[in-house]
Structure 1
Amino acid sequence: MGQLEGKVALVTGAAQGIGRAIAVGLAAEGARIVVADLERAEEEARAFPDGVGLTVDVAEEAAVAQMVEETVVRCGGIDVLVNNAGLYASLAMRPFTEIPLEEWRRVMDVNVASMFLTCRAVVPAMRERGGGAIVNISSGTPFRGVPFLLHYVTSKGAIVAFTRALARELGKDAIRVNCVAPGFTMSDGVKQHPEVIEQLRDVSVAARTIQRDQEPEDVVGAAVYLSGPAASFVTGQTIVIDGGQYFH
């Protein structure tokens, strides 16, 4: 039996990239997977035993509430929430003075407000189960102060603060809240944007202690650990996974 046998794991942005890799890792430990994504959720969910696919925009309050309600109805509850959905590869690198306010707000909605909405909706279900684990996906960029993506870096820094504050609130409920901060990862979304790879791949690899590409699978071990019983006394923490580009 896996360490998550009998548990239900809801993973946002799980149809591809880091989210999908984490879902595969959780499923390997016995968790029943709920794939929540804007596209291909139902299709990708078929790859998991008793998998559930839900098409949802996690920046929309009503859609998030419906996602959680349907998960509870179909799966009986929620034990693990992985907040992975976010905007990154489609964003153009440019000076902060050239970032439109509308784009800034969209990044904050998708990368930060979505986590507020999903946690607010999921926590009552976790309380009914007697506890749970929330894993938020941030980024290594706020630790290094990466330029020309101010809205993205700011949003990912906010996730670290969000994780710490929410962990304080939910400790009494036996709900652990932790964070994983990957470096520049060769995810499906990144591979769809060759200009991003050209700008960031070589410089990222050169700055690492372990000098190779980072793949989505590199994030899985930490996410599974933080979701499971081995991390039962760990909360409010952020694990930076970037091959030693930044020591945190």
Structure 2
Amino acid sequence: MLETRHHWLPIIIAVYLPVSFIITYSIAVGNDHVEPVFPYISDTGTSSPESCVFGQLLNIGAALAGIIIYTRYRQCLYHFEGSGRRCLLCLNTIAFIIGLLKIFGVSLVGNFQETNVLTVHLIGAFLAFVVGFFYMVLQTIISYKSQSFNIAGNTLFITKFRILLCIADFILLIMLSVMTLVAGEKGPGPGIEIYDWTSDHPGYAEHLVATISEWLVAFITVIYFATFYKEFKHFRMKAPEVVYYEQQQQEQELNISVIS
């Protein structure tokens, strides 16, 4: 039976997503669609042709993140099933659902540009960043509470590092939210799009703090995924088994005949 090791996926996504952002940023700056000094990540994928590249790259990134989230869910399920720790099983299930919402949000951000369908884009950003933050918190709680299971790779250092990442992510999310609102109230002036702001416009300093915070939140997220590397390194996953109805029926009849 085919078995795969997924320990390389956290490292790949930790490299893939920043490179994706840099690619779309380079295209957007090269086409003079955004200012080169820290635009919002979404601004680099707003105009064509970079919007097409942005959407495709984020869809691939969401798929990779989905595999990681499922692998983490199955890993925790393996250790917690039969342990009597219902709280951990419940946390694992909730974290899995929240993780799926997170990657759905990433896909929405990539496919619904802010200048086309702003409401859907903002919903996607909320799922990707805010709901994604809660995924990190739940995984950190699971990591802390499962220390007694002696799960290979789940060291106390990793748990403490995840706590630090969650704290940093929370602070940056607050800064992103507050500074975005403050910058919006001051505004760049009539007729100026938000992605055209320069240092001459009012609210630019707050705008810059918000955009830098957004980039850091994105990097913290992929760094958090990278912390799964050591744990994923110690197991393999088997491919799903395909069982035809006829075969299943024959096996049941064989079992009945043996019992008789």
TM-score (norm 1): 0.29
Query: Of Structure 1 and Structure 2, which has the larger fraction of its residues in strand?
Result: 1
TM-score (norm 2): 0.28
Query: Of Structure 1 and Structure 2, which has the larger fraction of its residues in helix?
Result: 2
Higher relative contact order (CA 8 A, sep 6+): 2
* Structure whose CA Rg is larger: 2
